[in-house]
Amino acid sequence: MEEKTIEKVNQKLFYKKLDNGLEIFMLPNNNIKNVYATFTTKYGSVHDEFVPLGENKMLTVPKGIAHFLEHKMFEQEDGVDPFTFFSKSGTDCNAHTTLKHTTYEFMGPNNFVENIGYLLDFVQELYLTDENVDSEKGIIEQELKMYMDDPIFVLYDGIKNNVFEKSPFKYPIGGTIQSIYKINRAYLTKCYNTFYNPSNMFVVITGNFDPEITLDIITKNQEGKEFKKLDGIKIKEYKEPDKVVKDYEEVSKNVDNNKFAYAIKLNLNKFNNMDEKKRNFYLSLSVESQFDSLSEFYEKMIEKNYLTDPIEFERIITDTHMVIVLLGETNYPKELFAEIDNKFKNIEITMEDFELAKKSMISSYIKRFDNIFALNDYVINEVINFNKYEGNDLDFINSLNYDELKKVSKKIDPSNKSILLVKPHKDNSNEEEK
Kind of pairing between the strands at 102-107 and 248-253 = unpaired
Under 8 Å CB-to-CB from 296, ≥6 apart: which residues?
none
In DSSP notation, 41-98 reads: ES--TT--EE--TT--S-EE--TTHHHHHHHHTT--TTS--HHHHHHTTT-EEEEEE-
In DSSP notation, 189-201 reads: HHHHHHHTSGGGE
- What angle in degrees, to the nearest 10, is found between the helix axes of 276-291 and 402-409? 70
Indicate if 77 belongs to the active site.
no
How many whole angstroms separate alpha carbon 294 and alpha carbon 149? Answer: 32
β-pair partners for 317:
322
Under 8 Å CB-to-CB from 131, ≥6 apart: which residues?
none
> Exposed, middle or buried by CB within 10 Å (0-12, 13-18, 19+), for 316?
buried
Q: What is the edge-to-edge ordering of all strands in the sheet holding 417-424?
A: 248-253, 417-424, 258-267, 321-330, 312-317
The candidate with the shortest Cα–Cα distance to 116, out of 126, 106, 124, 125, is 106
Q: Within 10 A of 247 (CB to CB), how many other CB atoms are there? A: 11
For 206-275, where are the alpha helices, taking DSSP H only?
Answer: 211-223
- Helices first, then strands: H and E counts in the chain: 15, 14
For 292-371, where are the alpha helices, taking DSSP H only?
Answer: 296-303, 333-345, 351-368
Under 8 Å CB-to-CB from 48, ≥6 apart: which residues?
60, 61, 62, 63, 65, 66, 168, 171
β-pair partners for 24:
16, 203
> Which residue out of 3, 49, 55, 70 is catalytically annotated?
70
The candidate with the shortest Cα–Cα distance to 162, out of 171, 153, 149, 173, is 171
- 3-state SS, residue 326: strand
β-pair partners for 419:
248, 262
Q: If you count them, how many residues does the chain have?
A: 434
Task: Report, as residue numbers or ranges, the catalytic residues.
Answer: 70
